[in-house]
């Protein structure tokens, strides 16, 4: 159950970043110090890898995008 919740959260984060930036999965992987394979697994295959240790980096990237995004729209 916890893994399903994490999957939904990570998928939402990844989709938000994809939708609100020009980033692709490779860019997100680089910026969050994740492997592209892990992000593809989450985003495309609905699986959170057991060795996905970049959770906090992905959340930090998401927070940065959220902070920047509203400012971008104000211009």
Number of neighbours of residue 62 by Cβ within 10 angstroms:
19
The single-letter DSSP state of residue 21 is S
Half-sphere exposure of 2 (CA within 13 A, CB side): 1
Token digits of residue 40: 């593809």
Q: What is the pLDDT of residues 22-60, one digit of tens each?
A: 999 999 999 999 999 999 999 999 999 999 999 999 999
**Nearest CA to 17 among 75, 73, 66?**
66
pTM of the model: 0.88
* Residue 68: per-residue pLDDT: 87
Q: Under 8 Å CB-to-CB from 54, ≥6 apart: which residues?
A: 32, 33, 34, 35, 38
Place 11 in a pLDDT band, splitting at 50, 70 and 90.
very high
């Amino acid at each position: 159950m916890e893994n399903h919740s994490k999957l939904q959260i990570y998928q939402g984060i990844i989709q938000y970043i994809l939708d609100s930036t020009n980033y692709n999965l490779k860019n997100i992987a680089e910026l969050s110090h994740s492997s592209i394979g892990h992000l593809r697994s989450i985003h495309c295959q609905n699986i959170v890898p057991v060795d996905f240790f970049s959770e906090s980096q992905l959340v930090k990237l998401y927070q940065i995008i959220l902070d920047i995004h509203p400012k971008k729209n104000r211009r």
